[in-house]
Amino acid sequence: MIILGIETSCDETAVSLIKKTSDNVEVLSNAVSSQVELHAAWGGVVPNLAAREHLKNILPVLEESLSEAQLTKDDVDLISVTQGPGLIPALLVGTNFAKTLSYLWKKPLIGIHHIEGHIYANFIGRSDINFPVLALVVSGGHTQLVLMRDHLNYEVVGETQDDAVGEAFDKVARTLDLGYPGGPIVSQKAEEFKSSQTSNPESQISLPRPMLNSPNFNFSFSGLKTAVLYKVKELKKSLSADEFQRLIPEICHEFQQACIDVLIHKTLKATKKYSPKSIVIAGGVSANTELKKQLEESVYEKFPEITYSNPDFTYSLDNAAMIASAASFRWGKMTEEQKAEATTNWKTLQANAGLSMN
């Protein structure tokens, strides 16, 4: 079946078409219009500006997606849209657009949880992920360990007690005047430090690994972010501006490694307890090359029998293929009655900024 996905929860306007067969999710088109440059000027996403851009871009992005896939509306079997969580003005554009298409095209409509979408990015193009699955969710708004005993079944076994890890990358980037979004630039600086070192990079700057040894699977990144702030204040007092600039890659490297250390430690600890068959990573921070590399190495070293998966880079960041992928599995589990109800969902589906999974 052919599924249309729509995603507008934050600062990407995205429309995708996927083809679902019994054992595969194939992406036919993945159109994304990013607003990153617009929001960078404000140091973060401005919800009303995001909504205005989504309104401007959503039809051209739909057209692009259909033409890239060489399909028409008649080929579409199901429409799916991010229902939440996210910025309400932004979510409203996508959900109302999806409702209108469902009404006009007479196609069923289902709402998808944004994080569920991120997790299902792992099912694009691969069929070797087996349950139970342990998902490490790392995005701008979420940091969670989610145990899935089956498709669409989520138990949060650990989560951040304060900031999400992506949020910490963004705040550290702000502290270091590196711009928005912080993840890509902080990881690039960390890589610069690593490649400038001849052997194993030994950091002169040391930061805490919060909650590393706490007796649960929870995280905390707010204290780490503050530790960077204090370290920067201290360094700026004793160093010239040039000397401080030269230390930025090293600070980024140590900060990134502190995040990676706790994320991997807690994932392995949860793996010991829950014995998953597969471990997946999901969310914007899963675009981080060093995190993916170290997690994969650690999993295969400690649990060689477990399948590890991360989404392709394109599907790590916000996109609509992941929303359509999740929708394809939801549809597969729905009864005939639920499928029939989905044809009138355009009357009732509501964007929900605080939507919870399940």
Chain contacts with ligand KG4 (rule: CB under 6 A): 10, 114, 139-141, 166-167, 169-170, 181-184, 187, 283-285, 287-288, 317-318
Interface pick for Zn ion out of 173, 259, 318, 355 (rule CB under 5 A): 318
Cα distance between residue 317 and residue 230, in whole Å: 30
Residue 229: other Cβ atoms inside 10 A: 15
* 128, two tokens: 């070797």
Give the one entry of ligand KG4, Zn ion, none that residue 249 binds, where binding means its C-beta sits below a cut-off of 5 to 8 angstroms depending on kind: none
| Closest-approach residue to Zn ion (CB) | 318
The helix/strand/coil state of 129 is coil
Task: Tell me whether residue 76 or residue 112 sits nearer to ligand KG4 (CB atom).
Answer: 112
Task: Tell me whether residue 24 or residue 203 sits nearer to ligand KG4 (CB atom).
Answer: 203
Give the one entry of Zn ion, ligand KG4, none that residue 258 binds, where binding means its C-beta sits below a cut-off of 5 to 8 angstroms depending on kind: none
Task: Tell me whether residue 183 or residue 276 sits nearer to Zn ion (CB atom).
Answer: 183
Helical segments of the chain, H only: 36-40, 47-69, 88-105, 114-120, 165-175, 182-196, 222-238, 241-274, 289-302, 313-316, 321-333, 336-341
Task: Tell me whether residue 108 or residue 284 sits nearer to ligand KG4 (CB atom).
Answer: 284
Least distance from C-beta 204 to Zn ion, angstroms?
A: 34
Instruction: Please tell me whether residue 139 binds Zn ion under the rule CB under 5 A.
Output: yes
**Residue 150 φ then ψ, to 5°:** -160, 175
Give the one entry of Zn ion, ligand KG4, none that residue 94 binds, where binding means its C-beta sits below a cut-off of 5 to 8 angstroms depending on kind: none
Task: Tell me whether residue 53 or residue 318 sits nearer to ligand KG4 (CB atom).
Answer: 318
DSSP string, 307-319: EEE---HHHHSS-
Cα distances from 259 to residues 118, 219, 264, 268, 286, in angstroms, run 20, 10, 9, 14, 12
Give the one entry of ligand KG4, Zn ion, none that residue 170 binds, where binding means its C-beta sits below a cut-off of 5 to 8 angstroms depending on kind: ligand KG4
